[in-house]
Amino acid sequence: MDKLGNLYVFLLLLFNIVLATFIIRFIYKKHLKGFKPKNSEILYSTPQTSDNQLKKISTRPFLFGFEKKFISDDELFFDEKHFYAINKEQKKATFKLADITEISKTSLQINNRRLWQVKIKQDNGKEIVFKFAHNYTLWNKNFLDFYEKIKSINPTVVKTKWNLWSI
């Protein structure tokens, strides 16, 4: 009877593992798959000017590589008139701040940093989405400056109210 009891325990454990795997896969497919935007239509160019006046608004949180599934690959910057996405090859995509159609926080959080998204309308009518973790700290207020700048240009595109607890 002891061997039969061990077999039941083993089968119950195996069933629980299979069930847990199925539930995790279902949740991933339903809620997280496709969370990272696919911006294959972005035109990058080699920067012609110095990037000294650009203010960085994004950071790369660490989540053992899983953060790559949720945030855009580009580093995000802005200045007085433009929004910039700089890719890994140091090529720059430039967008007018007036072309931003939405800035809002998402439901995900990595390392106590809320993930935000910026949606931009291109000239061809398609929309580009950048998802990122902000770099707001006591010493770096660039994200707050960006938020206020967008709010002053077009207050209707700001979908999430800023407060210190919503970052």
Residue 41 lies in a domain: no
The three-state secondary structure class of 9 is: helix
Residue 42 lies in a domain: no
Task: Please tell me the predicted confidence (pLDDT) of residue 90.
Answer: 84
Task: Please tell me the predicted confidence (pLDDT) of residue 127.
Answer: 86
Residue 166 lies in a domain: no
Query: Greater confidence, 20 or 164?
Result: 20
CATH code of 72's domain: 2.30.29.30
The answer on pLDDT for 77 being more than 60 is: yes
Q: What is the pLDDT of residues 78-131, one digit of tens each?
A: 988 899 988 888 888 888 998 999 998 887 777 777 888 999 988 777 888 888
Residue 44 lies in a domain: no
Q: In the chain, what's the furthest Cα-to-Cα distance?
A: 79
Which residues fall within 8 angstroms of residue 129, CB to CB, at 6 or more apart? Answer: 37, 39, 72, 117, 118, 119, 120
Q: What is the pLDDT of residues 23-55, one digit of tens each?
A: 887 776 666 555 555 565 666 676 665 666 888
Q: 2: domain range? A: 1-33
Residue 40 lies in a domain: no
Task: Please tell me the predicted confidence (pLDDT) of residue 43.
Answer: 66
Domain count, the chain: 2
The least confident of 6-15, 85-94, 135-144 is 135-144
129 and 68 within one domain: yes
Residue 87 lies in a domain: yes
The answer on pLDDT for 141 being more than 60 is: yes
135 and 61 within one domain: yes
Residue 136 lies in a domain: yes
**pTM of the predicted model, to two decimals?**
0.68
59 and 29 within one domain: no
Residue 76 lies in a domain: yes
Mean pLDDT confidence for 66-84: 81
Distance separating alpha carbons of residues 54 and 162, to the nearest angstrom: 22
92 and 19 within one domain: no
Task: Please tell me the predicted confidence (pLDDT) of residue 41.
Answer: 62
19 and 69 within one domain: no
Task: Please tell me the predicted confidence (pLDDT) of residue 88.
Answer: 83
Parallel/antiparallel/unpaired status of strands 58-59 and 92-96? unpaired
